[in-house]
């Protein structure tokens, strides 16, 4: 862990330099977390290319969207797709590994618990006090580990999802959950039996609590799923998928977005809700919560100049497609044309997007309040997280200086 000189508030003439510095910090994070895989994927040339041992790699936004919208030609089920990874861990009936009518039916049944009217009070209940405490600490001149704060917030979300008391979900359990996705390797389309057993042990322990909550009232998510008509097996599988994919995603994204804004000195530009939404979209474009998406080819297709056949594995480098629109700039509209590609597209557009957005808005609102009080958010120290699928900070120490 090394000390890190924070980016000072810079005059407008130096804005481009400050943005470039922020992007370099984020680039170093990605290389530190994936020292082999990230440079390998960066080296793939062109918008689409067949890479021996990996599959057909897509780096272009238009081509990526075309694949994601083509449910007849490409699927999350099949050789090399999401189902190969997650069906042994979560069972066959979760959105992560479903396709077609079954997927549409389950998504329709789950939709009410991800509507803004449901998730926004849920996030405020679970995370509101933590966000207020973050703001108070920064205004008091204290140094805060924003990465630790977001892990605690994610742990609170886990507790709510599985019907546990907040104190029961600690950092150790969060790391165990992050360790499950950390087993994934692009060069290995399935998890090894020992890895599946390890993942199942973690999720089964949470499943016991979720099962009890399912049989209780609708104040917890499992109880709410019962109220929506899901069987206990369906509800527990859904909860497992939420825990596995949603918690690490948000814990990775928030500190990275905050670091980009602090390093570039552009948090002060987020002066109103419209600017905040633009900054969030730009932060999500640059960091991309789901940096890689997998599909299996169902019927013969052509992706750009590359012909694919049934069984071919398609690897969509979402982060590369998003970043091709240009460098990070929270005042820009570069994200608008991508239609939130970082959350997917079509039938598999991330159902949890409203929950993620509500969590990011809550934290950004606290940081904006600090800037409005005449303070400047600075990164004092940072360290990358190791052994995770998503590039994330293990430690991001910030403070707000007058």
177: CATH: 1.10.630.10
Using the predicted structure, report yes or no on whether residue 289 has a pLDDT greater than 80.
Answer: yes
pLDDT for 166: 66
CA proximity to 99, closest of 77, 82, 81: 77
Using the predicted structure, report yes or no on whether residue 318 has a pLDDT greater than 50.
Answer: yes
Instruction: Give dist(CA 344, CA 6) in Å, integer.
Output: 34
Question: Are the CB atoms for 322 and 212 separated by under 8 Å?
Answer: no
77 three-class SS: coil
Using the predicted structure, report yes or no on whether residue 2 has a pLDDT greater than 50.
Answer: no
Instruction: Give dist(CA 267, CA 210) in Å, integer.
Output: 39
pLDDT for 167: 64
pLDDT for 78: 86
CA proximity to 304, closest of 80, 74, 81, 58: 58
Integer-rounded Cα Rg, in Å, for the chain is 21
Taking each helix axis as running N to C, give the angle between helix 232-264 and helix 193-214, from 0 to 180 degrees, rounded to the nearest 10: 110
Tokens representing 85 are: 């990874």
343-356, pLDDT tens digit by residue? Answer: 999 988 988 888 88
pLDDT for 304: 97
CA proximity to 144, closest of 130, 154, 156, 157: 130
Question: Are the CB atoms for 385 and 21 separated by under 8 Å?
Answer: no
Confidence of residue 169 (pLDDT cuts 50, 70, 90): low
Instruction: Give dist(CA 255, CA 263) in Å, integer.
Output: 12
Residue with tokens 């977005």: 257
Question: Are the CB atoms for 48 and 60 separated by under 8 Å?
Answer: yes
Three-state helix/strand/coil letters over 350-387: CCCHHHHHHHHHHHHHHHHHHHHCCCEEEEEEEEECCC
Instruction: Give me the count of residues in the chain.
Output: 402
Using the predicted structure, report yes or no on whether residue 61 has a pLDDT greater than 60.
Answer: yes
What number of other Cβ atoms are within 10 A of residue 62's Cβ?
13
How distant, in Å, are the alpha carbons of 163, 247, 317 from that of 178? 19, 8, 21
Q: What is the DSSP letter of 185?
A: B
Within 13 Å of residue 200, how many CA atoms lie on the same side as its CB?
14
Domain around 105: 2-401
- Range list of β-strands (E), 89-227: 144-145
Could you tell me what percent of the chain has a pLDDT over 90? 54
Dihedral of alpha carbons 81, 86, 90, 95, sign: negative
What does the pLDDT average to over 32-38? Answer: 92
Using the predicted structure, report yes or no on whether residue 1 has a pLDDT greater than 70.
Answer: no
Better pLDDT: 82 or 20: 20
Domains: count for the chain:
1
Using the predicted structure, report yes or no on whether residue 391 has a pLDDT greater than 50.
Answer: yes
Three-state helix/strand/coil letters over 207-274: HHHHHHHHCCCCCCHHHHHHHCCCCHHHHHHHHHHHHHHHHHHHHHHHHHHHHHHHHHCCHHHCCCHH
Beta bridge partners of 377: 400
171-207, pLDDT tens digit by residue? Answer: 777 788 888 888 888 778 888 999 999 988 888 888 8
pLDDT for 8: 40
pLDDT winner (highest mean) among 27-31, 179-183, 245-249, 349-353:
27-31
CA proximity to 392, closest of 41, 33, 152: 33
Q: Which residues contact 91 (CB under 8 A, 6 or more apart)?
A: 233, 237, 240
Using the predicted structure, report yes or no on whether residue 338 has a pLDDT greater than 80.
Answer: yes
Average pLDDT, the chain: 89
Instruction: Give dist(CA 379, CA 4) in Å, integer.
Output: 7
258-277, pLDDT tens digit by residue? Answer: 999 999 999 999 999 999 99
In the chain, what are the helix, strand and coil shares in percent, each to the nearest 5? Answer: 60, 15, 30
């Amino acid at each position: 862990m090394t000390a890190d000189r924070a980016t000072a508030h810079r005059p407008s003439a130096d804005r481009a330099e400050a943005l470039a510095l922020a992007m370099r910090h984020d680039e170093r994070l990605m290389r530190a977390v994936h020292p082999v895989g990230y440079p390998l994927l960066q080296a793939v040339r062109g918008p689409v290319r067949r890479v021996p041992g990996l599959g057909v790699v897509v780096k272009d936004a238009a081509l990526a969207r075309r694949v994601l919208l083509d449910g007849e030609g490409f699927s999350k089920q099949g050789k090399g797709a999401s189902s190969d990874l997650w069906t042994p861990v979560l069972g066959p009936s979760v959105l992560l590994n479903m396709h077609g009518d079954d997927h549409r039916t389950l998504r329709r049944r789950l939709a009410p618990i991800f509507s803004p009217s449901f998730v926004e009070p849920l996030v405020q209940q679970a995370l509101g006090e933590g966000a207020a405490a973050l703001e108070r600490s920064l205004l008091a001149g204290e140094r805060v580990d924003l990465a630790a704060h977001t892990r605690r917030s994610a742990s609170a979300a886990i507790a709510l999802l599985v019907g546990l008391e907040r104190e029961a979900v600690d950092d150790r359990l969060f790391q165990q959950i992050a360790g499950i996705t950390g087993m994934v390797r692009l060069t290995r389309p399935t998890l090894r039996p020992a890895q599946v057993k390890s993942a199942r042990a973690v999720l089964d322990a949470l499943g016991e609590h979720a099962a009890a909550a399912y049989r209780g009232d609708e104040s917890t998510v499992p109880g709410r799923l019962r109220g929506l008509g899901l069987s206990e097996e369906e509800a527990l599988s859904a909860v497992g998928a939420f825990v596995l994919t949603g918690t690490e995603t948000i814990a990775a994204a928030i500190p990275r977005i905050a670091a980009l804004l602090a390093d570039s000195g552009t948090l002060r530009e987020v002066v109103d809700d419209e600017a905040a939404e633009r900054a969030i979209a730009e932060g999500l474009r640059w960091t991309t919560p789901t940096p890689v998406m997998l599909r299996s080819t169902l019927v013969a297709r052509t992706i750009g100049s590359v012909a694919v056949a049934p069984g071919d594995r398609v690897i969509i480098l979402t982060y590369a497609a998003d970043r091709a629109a240009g460098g990070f700039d929270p005042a820009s509209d570069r994200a608008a044309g991508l239609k939130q590609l970082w959350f997917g597209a079509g039938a598999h557009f991330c159902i949890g997007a409203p929950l993620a957005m509500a969590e990011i808005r809550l934290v950004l609102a606290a940081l904006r309040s600090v800037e409005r009080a005449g303070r400047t958010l600075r990164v004092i120290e940072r360290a990358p997280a190791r052994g995770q699928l998503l590039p994330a900070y293990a430690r991001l120490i910030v403070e707000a200086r007058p």
